[in-house]
Amino acid sequence: MIATQLNQAQMLFESILAFFYPECCQICGERRARAREGYICSNCRQQPGAIRWIEPPICERCGLPFDGQITNKFECANCREADLQFSWARAAVVASGLVLEVIHRYKYYGALWFEPFLAELLIARAGTHLRRQDWDMIVPVPLHPLKLREREFNQAERLARHLARATGIPLNVHVVQRVKSTQTQTMLTRPKRAQNVRGAFKLRPTARLDGERVVLVDDVLTTGATTSECAGTLLKGGAREVCVWTVARGL
């Protein structure tokens, strides 16, 4: 019954998009691409370097991929020096090429038609892992109200909804809030990023955590400063463990 309703909702969503947008790839502008594909054709997806799936070896803590043959478990230099508060972080793909362009257009230019593509990447990797494990809720990294008003949507929340539907893990958007309006992390050094987000999150007054295991979701992880600060807030609020899943991993 639920699956049927989701399929009907997906068909309605696609028909609405098709009314406003032709079924044309929004990257090359030449080949056919449907709404369920995020309007990205198979040819653009298959270009060298377009989608770089993250494969082992990776840092066990932050998920940073490494080249070469490493058979034993290890933590990268950044994780050994940083005080990261999540148990571990993983990402589906590297933030480069087609993926980086799509995320940029999605977040900063409101290109919501790319959302199915990004959700597809996240679910392809995170869905498999999370279905085999026992997690209590999925929590998206919140935006500050000023940023939300400016952008009109929270990309982490929208992607988290897709992941929640795919895994059956309940979504909770009412547990943590962003109380500090921070500058963008993009141009900041690693130490400055941690300083920039310090004290940025707070548990909502009505939120109650009692030993839950939480999956924290965002679009991109680079140094882990934002997700670590948010994870720390959840842990202080009563969560037993926090892991992180993102669509992409900055290198």
Residues 136 and 223 in one domain: yes
Same domain, 63 and 142: yes
Does the structure show a pLDDT above 90 at 16? no
Q: What are the φ and ψ backbone dihedral angles of 201, each rounded to 5 degrees?
A: -120, 155
The angle, 0 to 180 degrees and rounded to 10, between the axes of the packed helices 97-108 and 115-122 is 130
Do 219 and 164 sit in the same domain of this protein? yes
Nearest 5 degrees, angle CA 192-CA 183-CA 123?
90
Tell me, yes or no, whether 92 and 159 share the same domain: yes
pTM of the predicted protein model: 0.89
Helix 190-197 vs helix 225-236: crossing angle, to nearest 10: 40
- Do 56 and 22 belong together in one domain? no
Q: CB–CB of 131/172 below 8 Å?
A: no
**Shared-domain flag, residues 12 and 86:** no
Q: Contact 59/75 with Cβ under 8 angstroms?
A: yes
pLDDT, tens digit (0-9, with 9 covering 90-100), for 90-117: 999 999 999 999 999 999 999 999 999 9
59 and 151 in a single domain? The answer is yes
Q: From CA 219, how far away is CA 159, in angstroms rounded?
A: 8
Out of 63-67, 126-130, 174-178, 183-187, least confident range: 183-187
Pairing of strands 213-221, 137-140: parallel
Q: Is the pLDDT of residue 184 over 50?
A: yes
| Residue burial 31-67, b: 16+ Cβ < 10 Å; e: rest | eebbbebbbbbeebbeeeebbbebeebbbebbbbbee
Mark which of 11, 31, 47 sits at the end of a domain.
47
**CATH, residue 216:** 3.40.50.2020
Question: Are both 163 and 135 inside the same structural domain?
Answer: yes
Please give the tally of structural domains in the chain.
Answer: 2
Comparing CA positions, the residue from 248, 250, 251 lying closest to residue 106 is 248
> pLDDT at position 14, please?
58
Whether 121 and 230 share a structural domain:
yes
Residues 133 and 11 in one domain: no
Q: Domain span at residue 3?
A: 1-47
209-250: pLDDT as tens digits: 999 999 999 999 999 999 999 999 999 999 999 999 999 999
Same domain, 43 and 57: no
Asked whether residue 224 falls in the same domain as residue 124, the answer is yes
